[in-house]
Structure 1
């Protein structure tokens, strides 16, 4: 979602002392249910319903606006939340816990505790991890945004941050949102509010991709943004930039659409076509932050019609991704309204996730499950036909 020097870095790398609650009686040593391999024996689990090789993910709630809420850290303390997180999903994305203001709160200090806990949880539950994010205009710490740094110092700070964070999780991160939201809706680079582009020039974007690739050659490196679901000025800007970077040999591997949708607006009918044109460049594509918010009166609840429309948006987004061969990663931005970012940032809108505050499943959940199940069935039929033909 939208936002050192080595000799003196004081890393917060102590063994995790967070009271991670166990998820079930069959949980691993620090919580979370042990994940089953790909199987259709558990059809009510999104990860099990999915076709082989297709990962279904969610953001892991924590940091950011959650720090201002009247509940304890969800990932650390909510047992039911952690159980569902491990059971339903094959991919996890730290919602805020790897962003600059959280993981690098002071120039010479990092706080890796929450990010480490998420990566370890993913390992126990046989999940992959999407790293989020390295170069962004938002959620930067005050020491960085308000500091009086020369261009050389800023470049050093950025490279050392990338080296430290990516290096710590090398081999443990499947995909990185390397550059997040670098264009505005008109397709212009954020030269005012992005400190890195403003101070170091547009070329810094290519440099960061190169740095990350040097540190972790196996990780897939993505551009990530919102309002790029359709073919429009913003997605056109990415299309042109990526072609230029690929021509220069810059290691760009993917383009992802966030998918923060609202029933106030029509569905982006050209989503599949848009993903296909990036796929044609040889890129992987992904949906990384899907939620579908609705207008609901304060204290009210969605109508059945609203829930059906929301489910339709979830289903159509997933279908678009499944239809594109290189789109193998599909992430919803949280799964329960209990910890949703939407009401905090969108006045009058909410109920954007696939489960209620009490973890009851909405029509949107079943829309995803059934769509995944049907895609897996078709995939199995194709493999069976190919086997018989061979």
Structure 2
């Protein structure tokens, strides 16, 4: 029975006129206590549930990280938002504030307020940080995207940016998405972005080598979507990665973004991950959400829970899968409604930070798989 049902039942009990006159004050007092206690439980239980779960301990038992993408403003100002992060996850990724547009809006002018807030929060709360992202075709400042660059100039700009961003957080951010979404949306070719246009297809190798020079201890990733199931794009990335490794380019992992539509989570995700595990690379699920056509029905949320469970199980089935990161703290902060109108409810917490069945799906995945020693560092 929900909160409204409990309040209705209490009111009905208060109207019953069958008690002896002498017992009425005591009965009324007892009912008042019951109503107050019930009201307290109704108000506080959802907050307590959203504030903490079994997930961090279960993830630690498996030796994997369980992360969440965070936005700066609620991370700084919203206690409930903070409690969901610290109570349910072991790592954070900056959703936007470390992207080029925000961290270097003008050349040589860096805004460290957002990145410092994320890294500082993580440090105070014992959370790991995944760096996102160094090179991407989106969210670039105008001075960069509209500039006219020679090859040498653009390499110099790239090095300046990496020196500043990676150098500032060296030792505190140990995993970086160096290359984000290098392939065209439908696959299989490389995207015609600024870096490709000026530097050619070797820009990926150049960026990875450069990042390794700036921070030799960092784990360097290529992060991509649409590779979670078999297809041309998945094959193209595997071919690209194999070529980089054959040339000795420093690359340590692949991020499977995992932006899924409800009902379309691929069954062969673990198989696709193993292709990179076989190459000696770590893999992560880096940006997990499962969007549902609105309005989301209860049965769809239950099915979504099984989809979240299946994704976490895929990670557990691959020895070098080191992290699963959910892309957003709650549905209120999700990017999905803006980018995919007509879709909603993509995350494990609702607009009011109440846990949804998807959270239980992740718990079940971690509870049902036996713990085993895992290879590679946990980001």
Measured in 2, the distance between the counterparts of 1:55 and 1:161 equals 27
CA separation in 2, counterparts of 1:152 and 1:161? 14
Match for residue 65 of structure 2?
A: 55
Distance 2:123 2:179 in 1: 25
Counterpart for residue 75 of structure 2: 75
Q: TM-score, normalised by structure 1?
A: 0.80
Alpha-carbon distance in structure 1 between the residues aligned to 2:95 and 2:183: 21
Q: Which range is displaced more, 318-327 or 48-57? A: 48-57
Contact preservation (8 Å) 1:179, 1:205 = yes
Number of the residue aligned with 2:99? 99
Q: 2:365 aligns with which of 366, 371, 375?
A: 371
Report which of the two has the higher share of helix. 2
- Tell me how far 1:87 sits from its aligned partner: 1.9
Indicate yes or no: 2:213 matched with 1:200. no
Q: C-alpha separation between the residues in 1 aligned to 2:264 and 2:120?
A: 39
Q: Which runs of 4+ in 1 moved over 4 A?
A: none
Q: In the alignment, does 2:51 pair up with 1:45? A: no
- Contact 1:291–1:332 under 8 Å retained in 2: yes
Partner residue, 1:175: 175
Flag structure 1 segments of 5+ consecutive residues without an equivalent. Answer: 1-41, 63-72, 384-390
Alignment correspondent of 1:257: 256
User: Distance in 1 between the 2:268 and 2:183 partners?
Assistant: 20
Question: TM-score scaled by structure 2?
Answer: 0.82
Partner of 1:121: 121
Once the two structures are superposed, residues 346-384 of structure 1 have per-residue CA deviations (whole angstroms, 9 ceiling, x without a partner) of: 010011110111111100011111222333xx227x99x
Q: Which runs of 5+ in 2 are unaligned?
A: 1-50, 375-379
Tell me the SS of whatever aligns to 1:109.
Answer: coil
Q: How does 1:15-34 map to 2 (within 5 A)?
A: none
Between 1:280-289 and 1:363-372, the stretch displaced more is 363-372
- Counterpart contact for 2:136–2:180, Cα < 8 Å: yes
Instruction: Determine the structure 2 residue equivalent to 1:187.
Output: 188
8 Å contact from structure 1 (residues 213, 219) kept in 2 = yes
Which residue number corresponds to residue 279 of structure 2?
Answer: 281
Distance 1:197 1:355 in 2: 39
> Retained in 2: the 8 A contact 1:43–1:373?
no
> How many residues in Structure 1 have an aligned counterpart in Structure 2?
322
Which structure's CA Rg is the greater one?
A: 2
SS at match of 2:152: helix
Is contact 1:43–1:49 with CA below 8 Å preserved after alignment? no
- Structure 2 distance, partners of 1:92, 1:372, is 19
- Please name the residue that 1:337 is paired with: 331
Asked if structure 1 preserves the Cα contact closer than 8 Å seen for 2:52 and 2:86, the reply is: no
| CA deviations over 1:18-71 (Å, ceiling 9, x no partner) | xxxxxxxxxxxxxxxxxxxxxxxx982311222242110000124xxxxxxxxx
Aligned equivalents of 1:364 and 1:201: distance in 2?
A: 42
Distance 2:308 2:63 in 1: 20
Q: CA deviation at 1:233?
A: 1.1
Quick check: 1:261–1:293 contact (8 Å CA) kept in 2? yes
Name the stretch that deviates more: 45-54 or 79-88.
45-54
Counterpart Cα distance in 2 of 1:311 and 1:174: 31
Cα distance in 2, alignment partners of residues 147 and 43 from structure 1: 47
CA RMSD of superposed structures (Å): 1.7
